[in-house]
Structure 1
Amino acid sequence: MSARSELPVAVVGAGPVGLATAARLVERGIEPIVFEKGGSVGASLLEWGHVRVFSPWRYNIDDAARRLLEAEGWKAPNPDALPNGKEIIENYLVPLSRVAPIRRAVRLRATVTAVTRKGLDKAASRGRDTAAFVVRYLDGGIEREVDVRAVIDASGTWNQPNPMGVDGLAVAGERQTTRISYGIPDVTGMRRGTFAGKRTLVVGSGHSAINTALALMELQQSDPETEIFWALRQSGVDRLLGGGLNDQLPERGALGLAAKKAMDEGKLSMLTGFAARAVQEDGEQVTVLAAAGGREIRLVVDNVVVATGFRPAFDFLRELRIGIDPAIEAPPALAPLIDPNLHSCGTVPPHGVEELSHPEKDFYIVGMKSYGRAPTFLMKTGYEQARSVVAEIAGDHEAARRVELVLPETGVCSAGVKSAVSSGCCGGPSTTREDACCEADTVAKDEGKAGCGCGAKAPTERAVERL
């Protein structure tokens, strides 16, 4: 045990939570080794570097990282300012990576391919808890190994986007289509030419989808030929709209309010109850076959953006005994707290080592990956996870179980939600029709009218054809 305790701790991923974990280890006098498969720290953030986050700087800087940085003379950004992904990298992660103990720890272009117990496969139990871990990784194409005392996986989920299908699978033709983007493409910047003046279908109802739709509307202002079709898998728009003015993160609430305003002004076409069947690329266009609003449709667009969330990858953890909830793919004790069937708030009770533990002693998953398939993760949550886990590894069990985090509230949960659209004039959500957004809209459409105008603009017949 004494020999093992002298080994470093492996951290997989050099994003905000990974580097915060390294900073916590350094403060505890434990040597970290940080494996980052990208060519720079925060490589995944750089892929959405154009997106402004809804949490201000005060929530985006880990306390231990701040202490290391300020000892080097670093000045923190305005705590109330809202950074984009690129600014988080340039003004926080890069300076942190240059602090001597962190600089020594980070290994760039190092892809972890496997983790195991030294001399033991997954089935072996005798002496397991006292054996060192072995991390195998690719370094410039060369396979290397290193022994470590513990492993903290902060690799995130960005490189594992969910496909378009409502059943969790790619729809027919999806993998063969080149005109589908995942996540949050830079539609007003580097990829402006791809989207300006074109017809784009956005699939999803989370912050990635909202950001993409709002960016497309920005394009629409300078190029009115830009058409936007927004497809929601749920039958209404309630969960899309966010907490509005009740959200303690104003920018998060503002996303929902901006989306509502766009619907009211008819700047986009909404498709609710959307379920894609197949996609087919034909030259510079894509034909999407789907069900929407209770009928089968054929939608011809120039681009599709699939923003339906992400999922964790466990392949390199195959030889470890990890505990994963069968539905959410999060640690079993954490899963009920973040289940998207019950929560859409992005706020959960503060949690740490107790909820993040696995059957494999001294192995933990932190950050976005710890949430499995659940959405809306705050960096501050990951920092608290890192603090608790590192305290446990250091033997400070009391600190590991102490709550040191208060999360900002949001105004909307999926349970008992009242529509931000319907609350203004329509008296409650629709009870019968999938393509209606409130009770008044239901009545109007059942009478053959256009609806009450509470938020869902009907798709144009020019682009959507009945089958």
Structure 2
Amino acid sequence: MSTAHTFDTDTETPVAVLGAGPVGLAATAHLHARGLPVVLLEAGDRVATAVREWAHVRLFSPWAMLVDPAARELLAPTGWREPDPEGLPTGGEWVTEYLQPLAETPAIAHALRLSTRVVAVSRERADRLADTDRDRRPFVLHLRGPGGERRLRARAVIDATGTWFSPNPLGADGLPALGEEAEGDRIPSGMPDVLGADRTAHAGRRTAIVGSGHSAQQVIGDLARLVDEEPGTEVVWVTRGDGPAFGGGSADQLPARAAVGETAQAAVDRPGIDLVTRFPTDAVTRDEQGVVLHAGDRSIGPLDVVVRATGFRPELRLLAELRLDLHPSVESTRALAPLIDPNVHSCGTVPPHGAAELAHPDEPDLYVVGMKSYGRAPTFLARTGYEQVRSVAAALAGDAESAQRIDLELPETGVCGAPTPTAELATIGTGCCET
């Protein structure tokens, strides 16, 4: 293993990794192993900001799929004890037992810049329109942090910022429903801790969950317990289509993922939980009794809380001055889209892919990895992101043979049929939960 360069922004042009989540940390570990100077930029004041927001959720990928090989090499000399490969951690355990210790290794800590937001990325003295010497110009990153605003030059950019902070709206047409933004305090996104920190917001009240994937199903499973424990608790599960796909059951190679669907399926057959299908929300209003969802002449409500579990989309504004080669609907790279498009694939399997499929031909050395690399497509797992960044690091180091040699085998979902628009957070895919 080679030794990483000492990073000095005044004398070297590093590889800039955006986002210190699971995949960004892994990317930094692989770049370190390749001896490449690297800086890891994180907008939050701690690593794994998104994972910490769903710390209560138990992942359905085991530890064996959640530890990156290059990260393991960094952790080994520190006395770190690897968890049971078959164990299923919560998001919080993933942070405390792996991600935070990884961030504290000398190699990662040296590269890490917390509370540093990347506002925009471009080519040095060349906007999106400029052609002259474009591929020979370094990238320039506009940063905002404790010291104010500054610019950073980078020889390459790996965007691992994920999608957690850009959720899809309630509106079935991809736009916020009328009134949705005004009622934002009643419409949280993601996976609330309804049995813990967020219990009082749901106990004895009426909650609607909008969405059909694994994230929605996990919340429904928790709310079913709350219905039993707290009198007066009511739940409405709202889907845009014919209904949720409950998974592959015993055919799913991740038993914990299958269990999520089985629990949710059992929940809809019990008192206190109503399933409303084919309800494409187009407006949200509020009356004296609560929030009301509307779809044409149909309505649901009044409701105390509406949980938006409708999936996520990539935030691309920070890359607006770069020439991205994106598929028009999926919003992944054009080369990757045919492998992951949910309008085509329904079995949950993704062929091996790496730097070649993630490249943007007009912007050499720019890569979007992790959940964000999938654009609006679902079923992303941490293992996919780890293999992506291994390949990208090899490509940036000039090791074309290693970059092209992709070793990725993902567990079958056991579901084939009509495509279902669900997206896994875990690992994020986090290996935990699909939305």
TM-score (normalizing by structure 1): 0.85
Confirm or deny: 8 A CA contact 2:283 2:294 kept in the other structure: yes
Q: Tell whether 2:182 aligns with 1:176.
A: yes
- State the one-letter code of the partner of 2:365: D
- State the one-letter code of the partner of 1:395: G
- 2:392 equivalent among 389, 410, 427: 389
Aligned mates of 1:70, 1:117 — CA distance in 2: 38
Aligned mates of 2:272, 2:393 — CA distance in 1: 48
- Once the two structures are superposed, the pairs formed by residues 264-343 of structure 1 within 5 Å of their partners are 264-283=269-288, 285-290=290-295, 296-343=298-345
Which residue of 1 is the match for residue 260 of structure 2?
255
- 2:401 equivalent among 390, 398, 402: 398
Q: Tell whether 2:123 aligns with 1:117.
A: yes
Deviations 1:330-373 (A, max 9, x none): 11111121112223443211111111010200000000000111
Aligned mates of 1:28, 1:252 — CA distance in 2: 35
CA shift in 2, pair 1:375/1:351, >3 Å:
same
Aligned mates of 2:52, 2:253 — CA distance in 1: 27
Confirm or deny: 8 A CA contact 1:4 1:132 kept in the other structure: no
Q: What is the SS of the residue equivalent to 2:268? A: helix
Confirm or deny: 8 A CA contact 1:12 1:18 kept in the other structure: yes
Aligned mates of 1:314, 1:337 — CA distance in 2: 21
Q: Tell whether 2:165 aligns with 1:159.
A: yes
Deviation, structure 1 residue 284:
5.7
- State the one-letter code of the partner of 1:166: A
Confirm or deny: 8 A CA contact 1:11 1:18 kept in the other structure: yes
Aligned mates of 1:160, 1:232 — CA distance in 2: 20
Confirm or deny: 8 A CA contact 1:247 1:409 kept in the other structure: yes
- State the one-letter code of the partner of 1:260: Q
Aligned residues: CA RMSD: 1.8
Confirm or deny: 8 A CA contact 2:120 2:318 kept in the other structure: yes
Deviates more, 1:393-402 or 1:119-128: 119-128
Confirm or deny: 8 A CA contact 2:348 2:415 kept in the other structure: no
Deviation, structure 1 residue 297:
3.2
Q: Tell whether 2:210 aligns with 1:203.
A: yes
- 2:367 equivalent among 351, 364, 367: 364
Aligned mates of 2:403, 2:349 — CA distance in 1: 20
Q: Tell whether 2:59 aligns with 1:59.
A: no
- 2:380 equivalent among 377, 382, 392: 377
Confirm or deny: 8 A CA contact 1:341 1:414 kept in the other structure: no
Q: Tell whether 2:102 aligns with 1:81.
A: no
Q: Tell whether 2:103 aligns with 1:101.
A: no
Confirm or deny: 8 A CA contact 2:345 2:419 kept in the other structure: no
Confirm or deny: 8 A CA contact 1:243 1:253 kept in the other structure: yes
Aligned mates of 1:34, 1:236 — CA distance in 2: 41
Q: What is the SS of the residue equivalent to 1:275? A: coil
Aligned mates of 1:283, 1:136 — CA distance in 2: 46
Deviations 1:6-27 (A, max 9, x none): 5210000000000000000000
Deviations 1:290-333 (A, max 9, x none): 25xxx723432111001000111111111111111110111111
Aligned mates of 1:273, 1:107 — CA distance in 2: 46
- State the one-letter code of the partner of 2:392: V
Aligned mates of 1:111, 1:191 — CA distance in 2: 29
Confirm or deny: 8 A CA contact 1:202 1:228 kept in the other structure: yes
- Once the two structures are superposed, the pairs formed by residues 122-133 of structure 1 within 5 Å of their partners are 122-133=128-139
User: Would you say how many aligned residue pairs link Structure 1 and Structure 2?
Assistant: 410
Deviation, structure 1 residue 283:
4.5
Unpaired segments ≥5 residues, structure 2: 1-8, 421-435
Confirm or deny: 8 A CA contact 2:342 2:419 kept in the other structure: no
Which residue of 2 is the match for residue 428 of structure 1?
none
Aligned mates of 1:236, 1:204 — CA distance in 2: 9
Aligned mates of 2:247, 2:188 — CA distance in 1: 24
Deviation, structure 1 residue 266:
4.4
Aligned mates of 2:210, 2:292 — CA distance in 1: 14
CA shift in 2, pair 1:46/1:415, >3 Å:
same
Aligned mates of 1:9, 1:26 — CA distance in 2: 10
Aligned mates of 1:330, 1:247 — CA distance in 2: 26
CA shift in 2, pair 1:384/1:231, >3 Å:
same
- State the one-letter code of the partner of 1:70: A
TM-score (normalizing by structure 2): 0.91
- State the one-letter code of the partner of 1:248: Q
Which residue of 2 is the match for residue 36 of structure 1?
42
Bigger-Rg structure (1/2): 1
- 1:217 equivalent among 220, 224, 232: 224
Deviates more, 1:259-268 or 1:28-37: 259-268
Deviates more, 1:89-98 or 1:334-343: 334-343
Confirm or deny: 8 A CA contact 2:167 2:313 kept in the other structure: yes
Aligned mates of 1:102, 1:416 — CA distance in 2: 39
- State the one-letter code of the partner of 1:105: A
Confirm or deny: 8 A CA contact 1:134 1:146 kept in the other structure: yes
CA shift in 2, pair 1:277/1:120, >3 Å:
closer
Deviation, structure 1 residue 265:
3.4
Q: Tell whether 2:53 aligns with 1:50.
A: no
Aligned mates of 1:344, 1:269 — CA distance in 2: 27
Aligned mates of 1:346, 1:108 — CA distance in 2: 35
- State the one-letter code of the partner of 1:73: G
Confirm or deny: 8 A CA contact 2:343 2:419 kept in the other structure: no
Which residue of 2 is the match for residue 444 of structure 1?
none
Deviations 1:124-183 (A, max 9, x none): 222221211111110126001111110000000100000001100111111011211111
